[in-house]
Structure 1
Amino acid sequence: MDFSSTIMIILFLLQTSIGAPTNIFILMAYAHISHAEKDLKPIDVILCHLVFANMLGLVTRGLPQIMSDLGLNNIRNDASCKLLIYTYRTSRGVSICVTSFLSVYQAITLAPSTTQWLFLKSRAKKYLIPNIVGSWLFNMLLNAYTLRILHAQGNGTIPEAQYNVGFCYSKITVPSLALCFNIIMNGHDVFFVGLMLSCSVYILYVLKRHRDQVQYIHSTRQNSKVTAERTAAKNVITLVSLYVLCFGVDTGFLVYSGTLLIVPPLLSQIRVFISSCYALLSPFVIISFNKKIYRRLRYSQKEERMEHINTN
């Protein structure tokens, strides 16, 4: 095992062992909040699906990669390989869709209460769940092509010209179909990232206008409302900025990979690690701005300290 492989194993191990439990903790916290309050806010519902998709992506991609790099590759059949990569790609697609939907929903929430915007405000909340479920179904169908081209590495040799990730490789029999699929997938990502950025720019514009309008108003109630709106909007923009950063770096590696006849496995691993950094870092952003989840984290830490004191 060379030095670069050892570094990638450590990075994937840290990413998965930190990111997956943190996402699971947020899901458990939201489950407790939902049970206690009987209802979640629309943004909390969106974040639940985002966290679940991120957790699913970390588990289905990080763990097999670690096992493969350590020589513990037990994925010997095509079905397991197809299921893991298909689940990872689907969860990745849902993550970008839900993050985009989060920015759209926040932009609509901050929009002025005119006739046109009131219509969108009511529809956004009414069709919240159908839109999220639709994003899952859409990405499941969109990534169905990967089930055709993926094969398990097993004990056989892999042709050098094939793209592989250690435990799986893609066997492209129709280059034109593969090119069409890549164009569709890249167009999917570019569209939703563009939607995120557009909504973020609008959110910043609305916040600036609100600040200009209320800067001379000394009403505590009005200032509290504006502060809450600005806090929520800034948190959404932080998540969007984080995703765009990871997406930008990932795209740079993708463009470079397109110039190579043979894509080295190490380069593929670096791309996966960078694209999964959003799933690793976004839970900490969510915890930092969600007071209810933060209080539950503090409470769980306090309970652990009390149990440690009692046992000693």
Structure 2
Amino acid sequence: MYLYDIVLGIIFFQTGVGVLGNSLFLFLWFHFILFRSHRSRPLDPILVHLTVTNTIVLLSQGCPLAIIYLRKGYSLGNVGCKIVFYLQRVSRGLSICTTCLLSMFQAITISPSNSSLAKLKARILKLIIPSCLLCWIFNMIIEINVPIYVTGSRGSNGSYTGGIDLIYCYRKQIFKEVTFLPSLRDILFVGGMVWASGYLICLLCRHHQRVQHLHSTSLSPRTSPEIRITQTILLLVGIFVCAYCISCGFTLYKVYVTHSNDWVMVVAMFTSLCFPAISPFLMVHRDTQMFRSCCAPWQRPSLHF
């Protein structure tokens, strides 16, 4: 039980740091675009959408567990459970879809002019915002059945049997047909991430081999912005896929092992919150153009004699 409380405390800290990091990224981005008079870059709408999605994931999953940690007992009730768990499922699907779109659009953006993907370059700017809107509509529709099988905790409704205890809520036993579309969505979009990441890695390797002979070993040329954002996206996708696989493993263990304890769900939620908590700091750290532009007013001017 002591370890259980420690993990809850870590999730409480993780949620606060993650919300702060996503807020920081949004603040720096708006400052970069509005106050520094920079034009929005092609993938900026997806990055902003991913940041908003990360914030919803952190608040919907981390806040209920944080309240349990502070109050040592908590019940959302039937209506609260339906709303919170619906937000969790929709935001989780949005995170998967948005990360996949980010990797695939970047693969199209930096694809060579003689590739088959080059034909989509001219249309990509017009497809970004509609794609984000479609992600919302798509995930809200396929998760519409969540309020039907989620109810109050088992502690207040002891008559429920054959379901899954979600610590602060309770999920009734569901049929395979109910989870088919969400599972198919996860497989398709995670597969899209893996394909796009593999394609980006191949492009980076070709680029490295092409420019290697242009620079002497004594020089250390700067990485171009396109290569840097590609490396950032690969890091984001790698973190997401690792956290997603570990979280799914713990969740499946909770579903199929009848006598598993609450700590399994707590660890699964902690793992699923790693990506939304880490990604904003990674994006701020890797986006040197935005960071330097926003920090320029606070830098001390150099003196020349």
Normalising to structure 2: TM-score of the pair? Answer: 0.87
Quote how far apart the aligned CAs of 1:293 are: 4.4
1:33-112 equivalent positions in 2, closer than 5 A: 33-36=32-35, 37=37, 39-69=39-69, 70-71=71-72, 73=74, 75-76=76-77, 78-112=78-112
Q: Is the 8 A contact 1:162 1:170 kept in 2?
A: yes
- Which residue does the alignment assign to 1:22? 21
Take 1:85 and 1:67, find their aligned partners in 2: how far apart are those partners?
15
Relative to structure 1, the CA distance from residue 74 to residue 282 in structure 2 (aligned partners, 3 Å threshold; closer, same or farther) is: same
Q: Which runs of 4+ in 1 moved over 6 A?
A: 223-226
Superimposed CA distance per residue, residues 6-54 of structure 1 (whole angstroms, 9 cap, x where no aligned partner): 1122111111111111111111222222313364212121110101101
Q: Is the 8 A contact 2:236 2:279 kept in 1?
A: yes
Quote how far apart the aligned CAs of 1:186 are: 2.3
Unaligned 5+ segments in structure 1 are 304-312
Question: What is the DSSP-based 3-state SS (H/G/I as helix, E as strand, rest coil) of the residue aligned with 1:144?
Answer: coil
Superimposed CA distance per residue, residues 221-260 of structure 1 (whole angstroms, 9 cap, x where no aligned partner): xx97973322121111000100111012112223323431
Take 1:53 and 1:22, find their aligned partners in 2: how far apart are those partners?
13
Take 1:264 and 1:137, find their aligned partners in 2: how far apart are those partners?
35
Quote how far apart the aligned CAs of 1:163 are: 1.2
Question: What is the DSSP-based 3-state SS (H/G/I as helix, E as strand, rest coil) of the residue aligned with 2:258?
Answer: coil
Quote how far apart the aligned CAs of 1:72 are: 5.1
Q: Does 1:162 pair with 2:163?
A: yes
Relative to structure 1, the CA distance from residue 180 to residue 102 in structure 2 (aligned partners, 3 Å threshold; closer, same or farther) is: same
Take 1:185 and 1:54, find their aligned partners in 2: how far apart are those partners?
19
Relative to structure 1, the CA distance from residue 284 to residue 261 in structure 2 (aligned partners, 3 Å threshold; closer, same or farther) is: same
Normalising to structure 1: TM-score of the pair? Answer: 0.85
Superimposed CA distance per residue, residues 152-196 of structure 1 (whole angstroms, 9 cap, x where no aligned partner): 239624445321222211123xx43xx222233222212211111
Q: Is the 8 A contact 2:31 2:294 kept in 1?
A: no
- Which residue does the alignment assign to 2:303? none
Q: Does 1:289 pair with 2:290?
A: no
Take 2:252 and 2:153, find their aligned partners in 1: how far apart are those partners?
26
Q: Does 1:216 pair with 2:213?
A: yes
Q: Is the 8 A contact 1:165 1:269 kept in 2?
A: no
Give the number of aligned pairs: 293
Take 1:200 and 1:66, find their aligned partners in 2: how far apart are those partners?
34
Quote how far apart the aligned CAs of 1:103 are: 0.6
Relative to structure 1, the CA distance from residue 74 to residue 292 in structure 2 (aligned partners, 3 Å threshold; closer, same or farther) is: farther
Take 1:295 and 1:161, find their aligned partners in 2: how far apart are those partners?
55
Take 1:92 and 1:119, find their aligned partners in 2: how far apart are those partners?
31
1:100-249 equivalent positions in 2, closer than 5 A: 100-114=100-114, 116-153=116-153, 156-158=156-158, 159=160, 161-172=162-173, 175-176=174-175, 179-217=176-214, 227-249=224-246
Question: What is the DSSP-based 3-state SS (H/G/I as helix, E as strand, rest coil) of the residue aligned with 2:66?
Answer: helix
Question: What is the DSSP-based 3-state SS (H/G/I as helix, E as strand, rest coil) of the residue aligned with 2:40?
Answer: coil
Q: Is the 8 A contact 2:57 2:91 kept in 1?
A: yes
Which AA in structure 1 matches 2:242? L
Give the helix-richer structure, 1 or 2: 1
Take 2:115 and 2:107, find their aligned partners in 1: how far apart are those partners?
16
Identity of aligned residues (%): 26
Superimposed CA distance per residue, residues 38-75 of structure 1 (whole angstroms, 9 cap, x where no aligned partner): 64212121110101101111011111112134335262
Unaligned 5+ segments in structure 2 are 300-305
Take 2:8 and 2:215, find their aligned partners in 1: how far apart are those partners?
56
